[in-house]
Each structure stands twice: as structure tokens, then as C-alpha cells.
Amino acid sequence: MHPITLLAAAQALFQGAEAGKPGKPFECCTRLSSALPNRVFLPGSSSYLELNSHRWSNTTILSPSCIVTPESAQEVSLAVRTLTKGSGCSFAVKSGGHNSNPRFNNIDDGVTVDLNRLNTARLSTDKSYVTLGAGTNMGQAYAAVANSGYAFPGGICDGVGVGGIATGGGQSFFMPKVGWVVDNILRYEVVIASGQVVTASQNMRPDLYKALKGGATNFGIVTQVDIAAFPHEGFWGGQLIVPATNLTNSQVLERVSNFTAVNNEHVDAAIMIMGLYGHDGHRIVDIGLASTDNTSNPEVLAPFFEVGPKVLNTVGHKSLVDFVHEVTQPMPDGLRVQTATLTVKNDLETLKRIQGITDSIYEQIKDQVPTLDWMFSYNPQPKVLTTHAATSGGNSLGLEGADHDSILWWLVPRWTDAASDAVVHAAVKSWVDQVQQVANELGTADPFIYNNHAAYFQKPMCGYGAETLKFLRAVSKKYDPQQVFQKLVPGGHKVSTKC
């Protein structure tokens, strides 16, 4: 596609993501202030400015008419009841703010419900689960179990909020052994559209329980979860950083493909690859690896140590909280970010073609965006991780019965100047289109699109499959008959999306 056509397409997409301003925002904020005194913050106040700017990506710093910060599920309930009175008020919901899509955790001319006060983080007395508030971030959550001898599957970055990973899927280094984060959630506390605070578990509202496990913000506002914990002595792992060259990229891709094929048997090993082509000219590949049972130098990870030369090697024994803090460093807050994702079958030729596309698009736009850091990640999705859902009431990711190993690609460019938004968004859209075309040609396409990494123009709910989407829509209509979370909450990927 011609660059000008790409630019026009991206501008239309981005403007579409920001369109649709709600009515009566002042009235909505006034009602909320009366219902929840000292919890509502208006533009111009220092609290408003701090809350509105506390986000991973500056693309989500918008202009809400007010921000409400409920301190309990009951206050969330009161906020929902207030926002849905009469014709209703448009609103957004923010947990950790670690989604870069405009309006997915913020809003223009509406109300942002910020869950940061819901920050409970405690290990149960019998150490079988952790209870986490939806506004807790993973740094806080992991710190709560530090030195306990126990761990739980959670997000890979410190700043990721519990609410997002608890409803979108949730990746962790424990995935091969225990599955997605949602496969380990024992109980949801959620405020549904009526304002009722309900529990969803295998024994209580099992349909809602399953729907929440991948169905995102389509059914209510999750306020708290219990996640299964297990004995854990620490990690052996860290980062191997090497220069990104044609040779090292090829070496890493080959090793990732080989590792993915054996990851079904070696479930205590995990890797996460991140490439960075920096605006300063430096190009690196960051090989994050872990032996989650704390075994030193497991043979299955040895091939990655052959890639070199090493710029940095941080591998060693460390705690969960220290390990996650370390691998978070390449993902700072305060930049502009746009993500997109696709999944493909584990096929080396496909991986090499995708790397070629990724490199080619970067070369096309790097001079147009002087502050561009072109980041990309690819991570194993061995089929064994899809087997864990069945033991915990299932999930809604549509991955049951997977007959192949996959690789999940994540494009994560970042930059600083808003004037470059359209160029980067066009590049991201082009990357998605070209990767999809190559996967289709090679017969390695996988319909799964990871919700928490998907761009605003992608349709992850459609990738779950027709039967799963039919189930999600039925649950939505059962617990939200007025379709509040489809109509009044403009952000997020919707089950009402046409596929």
C-alpha cells in the first residue's frame, strides 16, 4: 500500500477511536460528587492532574470531565448506579492504565472511574491464594508475597493492573506450568450493570465466571479477585542482551522455535523475547529467560547462551518481585505507545518473514519519527498452556483443544511527539496487514488475537471463535440487559463487535 494511503487510513482509524462524545458530562459529575463526596476530582485540581497523567502511555491522557476514585466495591456500585440513571453517562474504567489504546482506560467529556484505591494485596492464611484489588499493580501484588515462599501467576511488568490481566488473559513466566492468569482465578468480585455486587466462581454464576476469564470489560467492573498461589522458592533467570543483527535475529528466532516445540515437556522453563531498535541508533535483542523452579542452568535454556556477543547478562537466582522489576525496565511510563498483536503457528519460515516485515517497516518510517523506539516481542504459546483451563471452569479465550504450538507476536513502538501519531499508527496497521497476509500464504495463521495487546482497530473477540463469541454475547445480555457496558463504555474490545 502506498505510504500516503496508509497515512490516511491510520488517521481515519485514530479519529474513529476518539469519536463519539457523550452528553451531559457536567450533570454526571455533579451527581457523582453528591453521591460520593471527596471521591470526585475536577479538571484543574492537582489530584485530577496526577490521576489523569498516571498511565503507561501518554496516548491515553485525555480530558475526562471528572475522575471518580471509589474505595470499595460498594462505592463502585454507587458510582455505577449514578452513571446509569436516566439516559446514562459515558464512562471509562482504569485499573493500572497499562493499555495504550485511546479511550480504553480514559475518556474525553465523560467520567473516568479510577480503581487505584482498590489496592488490597494479601496472601490467605493457608497460603492457597492471594486476594488482590482490581486497582493493585503487579509490583504491589508481588511485594505482598515476598519472602513468603509462595507465588502466583500475574503480569510481567510492575505497572500492569490486576483488573486488566484478570479479564484479558494474563501472561506470566508460569504460563507453561499453570496456564493464563485467568485460569488461576478462583473468585471474582464484580459490580454488574445494575449496580449489584456479585461473586463469580465455579460454584456461583459459573457462566459469568467463565465469561470474565478473557471477556474483558464487557460484563461489569471487577473490583477484586482471588488467584491460586503455590510454593515458590524463587527464579533462576534474567536477561541476556545481545546486539540485534541479521545473524543474532536469525539465531534467536531459530532457538525460540525449537524451544517452543519442547516447552510442552519443560514447563518450568519460560522465555520472553524483546527487540528494540532505539532512536539513538542502538539495536538490541533482550532475551528474558527463567527457570521458574529455581534450577540453575537447565539444558533447555542453554542454546540461548550461545547467542552473542553479550551486551548484558543478569542471569542468576532472584526473587519473583526482583525478577519482574528487572524485566520491567525496558517498558517505562511516560511515552506514546501503540501496540498490536498477531498469533501464528510455530513455523521458522513464518517467524523469519515476520522479522523481515518488522525490520522493513521500521526502515521506512525511522527518519519520519526522530524519537521512535521500534519495539517488538515474540513469545512461545505451547499448546500445553491451553490444557489448564479445563480444571478451573474453562475460560473464554477460545483456545480449547489447540492442536499446535504458536508464537504470539507483539509490536510495541513508542515515541514522544504527538505529531508523529498518524505515521506510527499507519505503520502498525501496515505491520498487521502484512503479517496476516504472510501467515495466510504460508498456512500458519492462528485466529487468536490477545486482547490485552490488541490495537484499537483489531477484533480479538472475533478471534475467540463463533461459539465462544455467541456465549459471551448471551452472558452479556443476561447480566447487562440494557447493554450498559456496550453503549455507555466506549472503550475496550466489545462482544457486540461485528465480525
Q: What is the pLDDT of residues 188-214, one digit of tens each?
A: 999 999 999 999 999 999 999 999 999
Residue 428 above 50 pLDDT?
Answer: yes
Q: What is the pLDDT of residues 61-102, one digit of tens each?
A: 999 999 999 999 999 999 999 999 988 999 999 999 999 999
Cβ neighbours of 284 (radius 10 Å): 18
Please indicate whether residue 329 or residue 482 has the higher confidence score (pLDDT): 482
Residue 195 has φ and ψ, to the nearest 5°, of 95, -5
* Cα–Cα distance, 425 to 410 (Å, whole number): 14
Residue 2 above 90 pLDDT?
Answer: no
Which residues face 444 on adjacent strands?
none
Average pLDDT over residues 112-118: 98
How confident is the model at residue 10, as a pLDDT? 40
How confident is the model at residue 327, as a pLDDT? 87
- The grid coordinates listed for 287 are 532475551
Cβ neighbours of 58 (radius 10 Å): 17
* Cα–Cα distance, 226 to 141 (Å, whole number): 12
Residue 22 above 80 pLDDT?
Answer: no
Residue 9 above 60 pLDDT?
Answer: no
Residue 355 above 70 pLDDT?
Answer: yes
Q: What is the pLDDT of residues 393-415, one digit of tens each?
A: 999 999 998 899 999 999 999 99
Average pLDDT over residues 37-64: 97
Residue 4 above 70 pLDDT?
Answer: no
How confident is the model at residue 18, as a pLDDT? 38
* Cα–Cα distance, 123 to 132 (Å, whole number): 9
Side chain identity, residue 50:
E
Q: What is the pLDDT of residues 252-301, one digit of tens each?
A: 999 999 999 999 999 999 999 999 999 999 999 999 999 999 999 999 99
Q: State the pTM of this model.
A: 0.94
